[in-house]
A and B are shown apart, each in its own frame.
Chain A
Amino acid sequence: EVQLVETGGGLIQPGGSLRLSCAASGFTVSSNYMSWVRQAPGKGLEWVSVIYSGGSTYYADSVKGRFTISRDNSKNTLYLQMNSLRAEDTAVYYCARTPRWNDAFDIWGQGTMVTVSS
């Protein structure tokens, strides 16, 4: 079964760091474009970052310089390292797969909640 499972969320103080993981099964992470999308409580969806199959990465301006997307091919897992966290980073974080450029975001994980608060 094709599946994504996020872990790593929790309560963190402003300025702190957290690493989210997204474990894939049923397909190979490194053969796909993989994105992170977040949703603040009661708000809409916001794209955060992507990593290409070739390794190129892109970020939303709101997280550039603070967040880093990466993957571990041996573990078939996607990561999001989040540093210098702010209250406005509080959200459910989803990972999502894009197998081909015009077949975007076909599979999503269940999400993991990140709360940034003192």
Chain B
Amino acid sequence: DIQMTQSPSAMSASVGDRVTITCRASQGISNYLAWFQQKPGKVPKRLIYAASSLQSGVPSRFSGSGSGTEFTLTISSLQPEDFATYYCLQHNSYPFTFGPGTKVDIK
């Protein structure tokens, strides 16, 4: 099975900060990676697919990059509505696996 790790597991940031979250796969997954945002009690929302494609309707301050085993989600200027938990997902091979999540809260 492919293991996904995320770093950091949690972070405190201020509005306007540039935030970078890293997701690493235990083996190569090409670009079969998606990023999701989840707020407490809400449904996960896809932000990025195919590692770097921005989901329609998602603000352009979100971007994704990477291929193979290392991927990043960047928020160029953190907004109040961005405080949430972020998950990566590999869907290169079964079983699909999510990262453990990165919680971004207010500094």
Contacts and interface: CB of A to CB of B under 8 A. Distances in A.
Interface of A: 35, 37, 44-47, 50, 58-61, 94, 98, 101-106, 108-111
B50 A102 contact: yes
Contacts of B8: none
B31 interface: yes
B98 A104 contact: no
B95 A102 contact: no
A74 B45 CA distance: 28
Interface in B28-62: 31-32, 34, 36, 38, 43-46, 49-50, 55
Given A47-B98, A60-B95, A61-B95, A109 B43 contact: yes
Interface of B: 1, 31-32, 34, 36, 38, 43-46, 49-50, 55, 87, 89, 91, 94-101
In the A-B complex, the 7 residue pairs with the smallest Cβ-Cβ separation, listed nearest first, are A47-B96, A45-B98, A102-B50, A58-B94, A104-B91, A44-B101, A60-B95
B97 A47 contact: yes
Contact of A106 (B31, B49, B96, B100): B49
A45 B46 CA distance: 13
Best-buried of A44, A58, A94, A102 by chain B (most CB within 10 Å): A102
A105 B98 contact: no
A89 B7 CA distance: 27
Contacts of B91: 98, 101, 104-105
B95 A58 contact: yes
A44 B46 contact: no
B85 to A, nearest CB: 8
Given A44-B101, A45-B87, A59-B95, 19 more contacts: A44-B100, A45-B36, A45-B38, A45-B101, A47-B98, A58-B94, A58-B95, A61-B1, A61-B95, A101-B32, A102-B31, A102-B32, A102-B50, A103-B49, A103-B50, A104-B49, A105-B46, A106-B55, A110-B43
